[in-house]
Amino acid sequence: MTVTLHDPLVNPEIVAAHGLTTDEYEQICALLGRDPNLTELGVFSLMWSEHCGYKHSRARLADLPSTGPQVVQGPGENAGAIDIGEGLAIVFKMESHNHPSAVEPYQGAATGVGGILRDVFTMGARPIALLNSLRFGELDDPHVRYLFRRVVAGIGDYGNCVGIPTVGGEVVFDDAYRGNPLVNAMCVGILAQNDLTRGVASGPGNAVYVLGASTGRDGIHGASLLASAELADDTAESRPTVQVGDPFSEKLLLEATLELIESGAAIGIQDMGAAGLTSSSSEMATRAGTGIEFDVSRVPRREPDMSPYEVLLSESQERMLVVADPHREPQLMTIADKWDLACTRIGSVTDDGIWRVFEDCEEVCAIPVEALTEAVPTYVREVEPPAYLASLHAWSPRPGWLDCVEPLAALATLISAPSLASKRWVFEQYDHHVRTATVIGPGADAAVLAIKGTQRGLALTIDGNGRYVYCDPYRGGALAVAEAARNLVAVGATPLAITDCLNFGNPEKDDIYYQFVEALRGIADACRALDTPVVSGNVSFYNQSSVGAVYPTPTIGMVGLIQDIEKRIYPGRAAVGDRLLLVGGDGAHLGASSFLKEVLGEVAGRPPTVDLKAERMNAEAILALNEAGLIGTCRDVGDGGLAVAAAELMFGLESGLGVELEIPGRAGPHALLFGEDGARYVVTVAEDDESRAAELLAELEVVTRACGRVTGDAAYHVVDVGSANRSVLQASSETSIPNAMRQTESNR
């Protein structure tokens, strides 16, 4: 075999500049049986980067549970899929665009949404919802305000234009994210199970096409390398690699792709994400166990004089790689024409297991497909718990430490802290109604979509608590899953499965690696206990900057099912005199809580213990109560504890109503009001139903306490503690972010 070597010879400096170790380079030579040329080296450096190759995470991710009767497609494809009955499947995945968003927040966030949409429609599913999970530094920093505004605009403009409702998400502000914001986007799609299409290049002799946008020098050594190295202060250097999103083209690509899949003309299809043409072609061949060859000179370009290297590694957006029977080419072209998209045949599927690239018929790369995908080196190591954990855990409150904290003032502080305050400023910029299926939109514990043509409803949420994971990686990981499940249960849904986005610092550092491994263990345990397998996900390492690593922040996107949408639990369904029940009983755990952070400015202690058995039992109890028609409305107890949950429940009620809380007198009220112990919900039940509800809960052996009632005086009372005016509290929640965003911003 001859490989054209018109590239300069590869030397050790070049190898190092490509982020490969000497060991890795030797492995490449062994796989090839010769030295790679420069183009091949570039290809390896991207495919073996952390972002594409999952070097540090792959072995650990294998421990996540990913099977179950509900799983139609587990990890490994462009997105996961689960069965929701009636022959339908839900396809979903989450992905990060942290570094691109740090460099250029608007385009970074927009192209993040674009990428996750393509991951879903490439499977043949029609996207029906978007969600996002965001982390920024504190809003008193003008650059943080700039990032926040532009990220939200980028997410909104892209999804709005394509016409997919953004129905939920979360935003947390903490100094830990100042140098490195997190932008995770999740997309959910639906299809008839029979239509599920995989990213396979099967059938030697079949043709390979590029569909969609032309290829420019976007993101060459962009996303993949950005995502595989820490953000240095001179991010200016990585600037030229920013990609511009084109949501209009995306919409055309979406419609054309679905039509193509429906027509049966496409055998396999995959979007070109990180490492563009290289990763999509090699992954499609790997899945099919075939080889693939194509000529880069046939790829439509946006710019003159692009080298094979640039074409192979370009991350231009809104492009798909399609494998089809060449006899059906006319059909393919008709569909592409209908949607005004370019579609160009660039090569074919082969049977020799080689990834072969030509330029004007001259061979420029010949690499065994599996060398690019399966042979990626993986690293596993055993590490000790970092020292910082011991000092955090040694925290214990001084006697009388809360004497000067007035509970209702603390509640007001919590409710208006940007992380807990109303996110209306954000979600009013997102179209959350388009497609006319949004039954519960942003602002509740979880979003609920009607599944048209059925009685069913789909519940969606995203959750994660980086501070918890920082303070105890195992518990934090497990609690993220538990909190997501509680969000779904609180709208009456049964949790089915998750996708995750694992945002961590540099995994080559021991303390970060420990956080990663332990958080993953927590996620895995919780997913097993709650029967919510992981069907897709994404790892984002190197989230650190000169101000240090971000909090380890796994975010969990969870999907649940409501059999009969009429039985959803919705905000605000309560009347004066209804009883408040605290299902799961009192808690008093303040370690690592929002109360400590927002009111006292401390990050210390450990997050609450994880009781997965109770999480499951109490969730089942809520669903049983609802099935029996006993619940008015419900809120899970999360950040800010009972006090905040009750306030949020109140904000959902008709204006004029209020709540009255009772807490047992024995301990100080702070812990009971603000403790964040898990597996808990506040529900309202009609006065007449109270005893039936109590009986049912007792039968299910769930600890429950009557904790107050709905009042008619538009006030928030805590018996023996004090009261606050509802509209004042609500206004402080609603105005917190808009007020902060009225201040000036800085793009640096």
Partner 1 sequence: MKARVEVHIQLKPGMLDPQGETLEHALTAIGYEGVRSMRVGKWITFEIEGDESDAVESQVEEMCDRLLANPIIERYEYHVMREES
Partner 2 sequence: MTQVPIGIVRFPGTNCDQDVFDAVAAVERACPVWLWHKETDLQGAKGVVLAGGFSYGDYLRAGAIARFSPIMEEVVRFAVDGGPVLGICNGFQILTEAGLLPGALMRNDRLTFVCRPQSLKVETADTLFTRQYERGQVISFPVAHAEGNFAADPAMIDRLEDECRVVFRYVDDRGGKGLDANPNGSINDIAGVINERGNVLGLMPHPDRAMDRMLGSADGRGIFQGLVEAAA
Encoded tokens for 188 = 């959910």
Burial class (CB in 10 A: 0-12, 13-18, 19+), 655: exposed
Length of the chain: 748
Nearest CB to ligand ADP, comparing residues 104 and 170:
170
In angstroms, give the least distance from the CB of 281 to ligand ADP.
34
Rounded Cα distance, 414 and 715, in Å? 17
- Site for ligand ADP (CB under 6 A): how many residues? 19
We find the least distance from the C-beta atom of residue 521 to ligand ADP, in angstroms, to be 23
Which of residues 322 and 462 has its CB atom nearest to Mg ion in the complex? 462
Which residues are at the interface with partner 2 (CB under 8 A)? 153, 156-157, 160-163, 246-249, 251-252, 339-340, 427-439, 450, 565
Nearer to Mg ion, 421 or 686 (CB): 421
Nearer to ligand ADP, 426 or 501 (CB): 426
Smaller CB separation from partner 2, 430 or 651: 430
Binding pattern for the stretch 5-44 against ligand ADP, x by CB under 6 A and - elsewhere: ----------------------------------------
Annotated active-site residue in 18, 56, 97, 670: 97
Binding partner of 426, given partner 1, ligand ADP, Mg ion, none, CB within 5-8 angstroms per partner class: ligand ADP
Q: Which stretch binds Mg ion (CB under 5 A): 41-49, 169-177, 312-320, 447-455?
A: 169-177
51 given a catalytic annotation: yes
Residues forming contacts to partner 1 in the complex (CB under 8 A) are 103-104, 106-107, 213, 216-218, 236, 239-240, 242-246, 248-249, 302-303, 316-317, 340, 743-748
When asked if residue 134 is in the footprint of ligand ADP (CB under 6 A), the reply is yes
In angstroms, the CA 73 to CA 198 distance is 10
Nearer to ligand ADP, 134 or 252 (CB): 134
Q: For residue 301, give every residue at least 6 positions away whose Cβ sits within 8 Å of its Cβ, in sequence order, or none.
A: 214, 215, 216, 311
C-beta separation of 685 from 631 below 8 A: yes
Residue 189 binds: one of partner 1, ligand ADP, Mg ion, none (C-beta under 5 to 8 A by kind): none
Phi-psi region of 489 (alpha: psi -120 to 50; beta: other; left: phi over 0): alpha
Contacts 24+ apart (CB under 8 A), 564-567: 564/455, 564/456, 564/457, 565/439, 565/448, 565/450, 565/451, 565/455, 565/456, 565/457, 566/455, 567/492, 567/626, 567/627
Nearest to 463 by CA among 490, 436, 492: 490
Q: Quick one: what does residue 169 bind among ligand ADP, partner 1, Mg ion, none, with the CB cut-off 5 to 8 Å set by partner type? A: ligand ADP
Which structure tokens are listed for 640? 């800010």
Containing 41, the helix (H) or strand (E) segment is: helix 38-47
One symbol per residue from 453 to 472: x for binding Mg ion (CB under 5 A), - otherwise; what is it? ----------x---------
- C-alpha pair distances (Å), 586 with each of 476, 513, 639: 21, 35, 15
Token readout for 682 is 């506040």
119 to 24, 194, 264, 271: CA distances (angstroms): 30, 18, 19, 7
> Under the criterion CB under 6 A, does residue 594 sit at the interface with ligand ADP?
no
**C-alpha pair distances (Å), 611 with each of 217, 591, 676:** 51, 16, 13
Binds ligand ADP by CB under 6 A, chosen from 36, 108, 442, 560: 442
Q: How far is the CB of 508 from partner 1 (least distance, A)?
A: 28
Separation of alpha carbons 187 and 690, rounded Å: 40
Residues 390-429 that bind ligand ADP (CB under 6 A): 423, 426-427
User: Does residue 170 bind Mg ion (CB under 5 A)?
Assistant: yes
CA atoms within 13 A on the CB side of 107: 16
DSSP secondary structure code for residue 35 in this structure: -
Residue 587 Cβ, how far from partner 1 at the closest point, in Å?
45
480 is a contact residue toward ligand ADP (CB under 6 A): no
For residue 18, indicate whether it is catalytic: no
- Give the residue with the Cβ less far from ligand ADP, 463 or 518: 463
Residue 179 is encoded by which pair of tokens? 């140098």
Q: Phi/psi at 285 (nearest 5 deg)?
A: -70, -40
**CA–CA separation, 686 vs 574, rounded Å?**
8
C-beta of 570: minimal distance to ligand ADP in Å?
12
- Quick one: 312 or 596, whose CB is closer to Mg ion? 596
Tokens of 448: 């609920």
Identify which range of 107-115, 161-169, 339-347, 385-393 contacts ligand ADP by CB under 6 A.
Answer: 161-169
Query: Which residues are identified as catalytic?
Result: 51, 97
Contacts with Mg ion by CB under 5 A lie at 170, 463
Positions in the binding site for ligand ADP (CB under 6 A): 132, 134, 166, 168-171, 423, 426-427, 430, 442-445, 463, 487, 638-639
